Structure 1
Amino acid sequence: MHYAGLLYRALNPVYAREPLSGEGARRYGGRFNPKGMPALYTSQSVMTAIREANQIGTLQPTTLAAYEADVGPIFDTTDPAALGEEGITAEQLAADDWRLKMLADGKAPTQALAERLKAAGYAGMQVRSFAKGATGHDLNLVLWVWGAQSPTRLRLVDDEGRLG
């Protein structure tokens, strides 16, 4: 699939000056990227972005950013047939023990999936949010490849230069 439209991220203010870096995900790894692989975790709605950034405890200070995206190809994990072809299930995507598997095995199954998809030429994946309160309509786009040019164009919306 191809995604064109707005995306959102709720950033820790510490990282707000580098909203396109993917450095935190590269450094620590995430559900859909192993350590060493940069990723931008974005959401297709503002509320989903806020849920994603504040999954533990009470709402913490957050900088909300919007992006204009024109990105592809995107692997759609909401398509059960596509998941089946990759040998992974929706339950494996949602498994909350991915950190434990990453520590025990070096990579969680979802991180291995991300590596395979990126190697196959995908710029990212569309995946439902697993944050508390999210429904099947709350969708994220996890990007592994992005830049200023098509087919992986991602532009921060900061027309007034507020982030410096």
Structure 2
Amino acid sequence: MNLVRIGPDEVFHRYLTPRWAYVPVSGAGAAIDGGRFNRPGIEALYLSRAPQTALDEYRQGASITPPATLAAYKVTLDQVVDLSTGYDPLIWGPEWAEWDCKWRLIARIDKKTPPSWKLSDILITAGCRGLLFPSLQHAGGTNLVIFSANLTADDKVDVHDPDGRLPRDQSSWQ
């Protein structure tokens, strides 16, 4: 595995669902149903290096974009696995060949464990803070999944909101 450091203060992006924009660094939403690199019950925050990649990830192929708020993040992390150039059998073990599996189909329809969840189990157990990986929604884009439980005091994931424009609670949604 290729371990890298991100930052200091490298900028990443995410489109936030308006209802949950008051907790922009939470990985709780991904923990509800799971994500490509997290099983249900495991918090993970998914970010993108570029705004267009973040938009395409948020849309997930939908023809009409649902309401969203774009947020930028300043990220400083140690111990991040870099798969951003994709799978290369000369660098990665054979278990990484299926990182881009159809995880939703495998988990929800086939009722099996997706290979990407097994990979994240390995990374989380090893104490890795996150994983850089190619976007499957935006050609050439790069995503970062952050494993919230593995963050330390030296790591930083801050939403950039200098004017306090993001909501502070869910009062608008009651």
Q: TM-score normalized by structure 2?
A: 0.82
Q: 2:114 aligns with which of 103, 108, 112?
A: 108
Residue identity opposite 1:24 in structure 2: G
Number of residue pairs aligned between Structure 1 and Structure 2 = 157
Change (3 A) 1:21 1:11: same
Contact 1:147 1:154 in 2 (8 A): no
Change (3 A) 1:86 1:123: farther
Contiguous gaps of at least 5 residues in structure 2:
169-174
Determine if the alignment matches structure 1 residue 94 to structure 2 residue 100.
yes
Change (3 A) 1:123 1:60: same
Determine if the alignment matches structure 1 residue 127 to structure 2 residue 133.
yes
Q: TM-score normalized by structure 1?
A: 0.87
1:117 & 1:82 partners in 2: Cα distance?
A: 20
Residue identity opposite 2:22 in structure 1: R
Residue identity opposite 2:99 in structure 1: L
Contiguous gaps of at least 5 residues in structure 1:
none
Contact 1:126 1:139 in 2 (8 A): yes
> Which residue pairs with 2:16 in the alignment?
11
Determine if the alignment matches structure 1 residue 20 to structure 2 residue 25.
yes
Give the number of the structure whose alpha-carbon radius of gyration is greater. 2
The Cα RMSD (Å) is: 1.9
Residue identity opposite 1:157 in structure 2: H
Contact 2:99 2:119 in 1 (8 A): no
Change (3 A) 1:68 1:148: farther
Q: What is the DSSP-based 3-state SS (H/G/I as helix, E as strand, rest coil) of the residue aligned with 1:51?
A: helix
